[in-house]
Chain A
């Protein structure tokens, strides 16, 4: 039982390049989330999904796209990376909302955009 996994763990991009971050969970959770974490700030929600085939915008969605083609996977795409997207990205999953919203996090992806 691996929980939530993320690939890659580290990445360096040049401005304008694109990339996809992959998140996978083996807990059969319905809800999945992508956050970014920057120094001195709380986790900020980028996009989330309440089930296979559905996605929704979070607090800071600009410059990112997501897809949830399979229940266990949630992909985050950067079409044209910018230095402002340098951050640590965390994926999380939960079995539901409300009081069942205990979120399980992946180990994170450290992205640097030059």
Chain B
């Protein structure tokens, strides 16, 4: 079967750095997405990785290791507005997105 694992919940302090991990086992791989979802709102796109390595976009970075079936999202200089759920999703061999259950990130002052 297809499986994507993320921690259910994480807590971090404003101004700090947090790393949210995602491991996957899917039938094929055509890329990995990270989305942000604030409570009661729609998911919004953060990043896309298809090659191994680190992609940096402002305070957010995303890393991929295809051989290990592993990705992480790194958030720097945390702000209160970063409190949200972060969803990992893998594009499988049929170009369908398989979604993780999401990681709820709580930022404390």
Contacts and interface: CB of A to CB of B under 8 A. Distances in A.
Q: Do A and B come from one complex?
A: yes
Given A98-B30, A102-B33, A102-B48, A45 B97 contact: yes
Chain B, interface size category, equals 20 to 34
A97 interface: yes
A103 interface: yes
A99 B48 contact: yes
Contacts, number: 52
Given A99-B48, A101-B91, A102-B33, A44 B99 contact: yes
A90 B42 contact: yes
B42 A97 contact: no
A98 B4 contact: no
A58 interface: yes
B19 interface: no
A90 B43 CA distance: 9
Given A41-B101, A42-B87, A43-B87, A98 B95 contact: yes
A58 B96 contact: yes
Interface in A17-38: none
A44 B100 CA distance: 10
Interface in A55-110: 58-59, 90, 97-99, 101-108
Given A99-B50, A101-B31, A101-B91, A43 B99 contact: yes
Given A98-B31, A98-B91, A99-B48, A40 B42 contact: no
Interface of B: 4, 8, 30-31, 33, 41-45, 48, 50, 87, 89, 91, 95-102
7 contacts: A42-B87, A99-B31, A99-B48, A101-B91, A103-B43, A105-B44, A106-B42
Interface of A: 40-45, 58-59, 90, 97-99, 101-108
Given A42-B98, A102-B45, 13 more contacts: A42-B101, A44-B99, A58-B96, A90-B42, A98-B30, A98-B31, A99-B48, A101-B33, A103-B45, A105-B42, A105-B43, A107-B42, A108-B42
